[in-house]
Amino acid sequence: MFPFGDVNDFNIGMNQEHELFRKSIRQFCEDKLSPIIMEVERTNDIPQNVIDDAKNLGLTGIGIPQEYGGQGGDMRMLVIMSEEISRVLPSFGTMLLVNHLFVDPLIVFGTEDQKSKYVVPVATGKALAAHASTEPGAGSDVAGISTTARKSESGWVLNGRKAFITNADRADFFIASARTSPANPQSRWKGLSTFIVEKGFSGVEIGHKFDVIGLRGEQPNEVIFNDVAVPEENLVGKLDEGFKVVVTTYDYSRILIAAQAVGIAQAAFEMAFNYSTQRKAFEKPLASFEGIAFKISDMLMELEASRLLTYWAAYLADSKRPEFYMASSIAKTYSTETAEKMASLTIKIHGGAGVDRDTGVERLLRDSVITTIYEGANDIQRLTVFRSLLRMISKNLEVS
């Protein structure tokens, strides 16, 4: 069982409420998202009426406590929502769930006034939010952030440039990281702080949209802070300890990216299986050839392994188990790489049809590649897993 100590560590804890919720999300996806897939691919935009439908259904409040305007629900519900939406339109899942990169750190580290002022409108769908951390020279290396926050009489003044910020063009609020003290080579993580920035603050500029290969409809933007005055009360968490705020946020969000990858992998499996049983070659279904049948079987095995790892990480997070940090990195790495592999195999099984944009097959590969990069590139996750393992050993966990 090493490094875990008990078979009960491997529960996933799903119940009938989770299944009923999954069915409702599946219905929304089939009714609202499936018809617009190719429109979104063509226009690179998600229709506002579909976003409004999601808000009216309460999807912006899933996983947010009711006392802050949310619908309640646990991490497993968020995972189910991410998976089901990403099976159909991953970019829509990204747009919807990136709100949690703003909300979650406020729930954990924010003041009651911050939660009332900023979490409630996001939870109720009256506002959208984004997380502005990544910079041209700092992505997975959070400690390398160079945006600065200088103390002023009324608060802080932010200057810097953020890159690849999802939801930036739609967001009303940002949680932004900035350096409030000079970097120390021995403790690089110290000296960062996090702030709530409203789009309406003077000096906030939404820059160019990055033309990334996937996630059509929700591609990221540059965000520029030019002498942005931020009130003192918009500091999130303790001064100079914003690194903790950012990495804690990612501990949870990695699970949602794993779920997004599971959804993409599910779509790939369904497309590959259906095509292999319907398409004929040499007067036989493709699936009758062992080379194809073996691939389909392998895809199913890896899909279900990814799903179980993701549900497991979500259950550990819901149970407030410290092992969830490691589990979220395991799930994110395995699931996203599985999705990329399965998308590639699905293209090959389709042959020429697989590279035709009109079939909708090749977009799975474009979307899956991105999941291996954002929320911490997978090699960073491997380092996280190993370092978590060392910490577990240092606490003298029983090896059995």
ω into residue 3 within 30 of 0, thus cis?
yes
The answer to whether residue 375 is catalytic is yes
Tens-digit pLDDT profile for residues 57-87: 999 999 999 999 999 999 999 999 999 999 9
Q: What pLDDT is attached to residue 183?
A: 81
Answer left, alpha or beta for residue 55, where phi above 0 means left and psi between -120 and 50 means alpha: alpha
CATH number, domain containing residue 269 = 1.20.140.10
**138 and 226 inside one domain:** yes
ω into residue 185 within 30 of 0, thus cis?
no
Q: What pLDDT is attached to residue 361?
A: 94
CATH number, domain containing residue 166 = 2.40.110.10
Q: What pLDDT is attached to residue 287?
A: 84
**162 and 216 inside one domain:** yes
**101 and 70 inside one domain:** yes
Tens-digit pLDDT profile for residues 265-308: 999 999 999 999 988 888 888 888 989 999 999 999 999 999 99
Joined together, the tokens standing for residue 35 give 């018809």
**199 and 262 inside one domain:** no
List, for the chain, all residue ranges whose pLDDT scores fall below the cut of 70: 1, 396-400
Q: What pLDDT is attached to residue 396?
A: 57
**Residue carrying structure tokens 């078979």:** 7
Q: What pLDDT is attached to residue 9?
A: 81
Q: What pLDDT is attached to residue 399?
A: 47
Which candidate in 83, 302, 323, 375 is catalytic?
A: 375
Q: Which domain holds residue 301?
A: 244-394
Q: Could you give the angle at which helices 75-88 and 16-28 cross, rounded to 10 degrees?
A: 30
Number of domains in the chain: 3
Do 145 and 177 contact (CB within 8 A), yes or no?
yes
Q: What pLDDT is attached to residue 75?
A: 97
Is residue 363 situated within a structural domain? yes
Q: Which of 56, 91, 123 is the last residue of a domain?
A: 123
Q: Give the torsion sign (CA, 213, 215, 216, 222).
A: negative
